[in-house]
Amino acid sequence: MNRGWTAALGPAAWIALALLACFELALHSDAVLQRYRAVFAVGRATDKIDFVEHARPSLLVLGNSRADNGIAPDALLAAAGSPSGVRAFNLGMPGANALVLHGVADRLLEEGVRPSNVLITLDETLFQHEDSLGYYGFLAERDALLDGGFHAELFGSLLRTWYYSGNLRQLREPDKLLRFAEATVGEVEPVGGSAAQNMGYRAGFKGRFQNREQLMAQEAGTRAPPDPRMVDAMHKLVDRLVKAGVRVHLIATPLFGRESAFGPGAAPGPYASVTPALEALGARWLRVDVPALEPEHFADPGHLNDGGARLYSAALGDAWRKDAAR
């Protein structure tokens, strides 16, 4: 009896397809992503999001690596007087942009997570289309991907096995391959500690978390004009948070050798209209009196090290306390 192409595939092919189907289903939950949180950026980001969904902090920091390395929640709360019942968490995600942050915020709000205060760390690279770390297919909203013309990423959000393969190509690096093998057989926490250990904060060290090419790409993004799709995503992010009753504060971590492109004192340029537009939606610029920072307070020109982050976080906590008392 001729069973056609089903017989031609053979048992080995069917077993392979079944395994791929199981892997695809697993990628539509957070289990596999979190398993490899010590290997891939999207895994660490998912792990932090999952922690926020369960811990439900009342003060949340959103941003990219400048937030991740630049704001220590314990130092912030200590400077704010350790207010009773307030928990803070740093949800900075290296390589994230406004499209990703919008998707993350929507997910949290849909899960019923409504922090009283959100600090959004503005940075030029938040307004650039860049997804080398593979966030879009897992963290961005599908409607936003469709509207923005990100059709391959939209397809990847549906067929995640194909989209996740970009992460697997990183295993050509021996260090990542070793961590991948360790995470496959046991629990391995990300470099810098788990989400719970430091409340999402990861201290910056020179050359430890970003290679030269990544740093050059990030700095190049600071000189490029904003992508209108990312500006729109940031507007939607702030609007959604404000309408949910969240107090949204806009901040910018210190940089070495140049001023931020955001805030009341920013120089004229392509980003000059961003802060006023976000304030019109209900966000507020939080003025932080930052102490003088020296070169030894920076891991690189765009990122603070632990010493610099704790100085800045203390100044931020003091500014937040004064603002809350108004």
Of residues 174 and 250, more confidence is placed in: 250
Mean pLDDT of the 1-16 span: 60
Does 70 or 186 have the greater pLDDT score?
70
The whole-number pLDDT of residue 265 equals 78
pLDDT in the model for residue 1: 46
Q: Inform me whether the pLDDT recorded for 2 exceeds 70.
A: no
The reported pLDDT for the residue numbered 19 is 66
Distance CA 121, CA 286 (A): 10
Residues 6+ apart with CB under 8 A from 268: none
Q: How far is CA 149 from the centre of its chain?
A: 22
Cα 285 from Cα 229, distance rounded (Å) = 22
Please tell me the distance from the alpha carbon of residue 316 to that of residue 287, in angstroms, as a whole number.
Answer: 8
Percent of the chain with pLDDT over 90: 64
Enumerate the β-bridge partners of residue 304: 298
| Consecutive H or E run containing 193 | none
Q: Helices 5-27 & 160-168, crossing angle to 10 degrees? A: 70
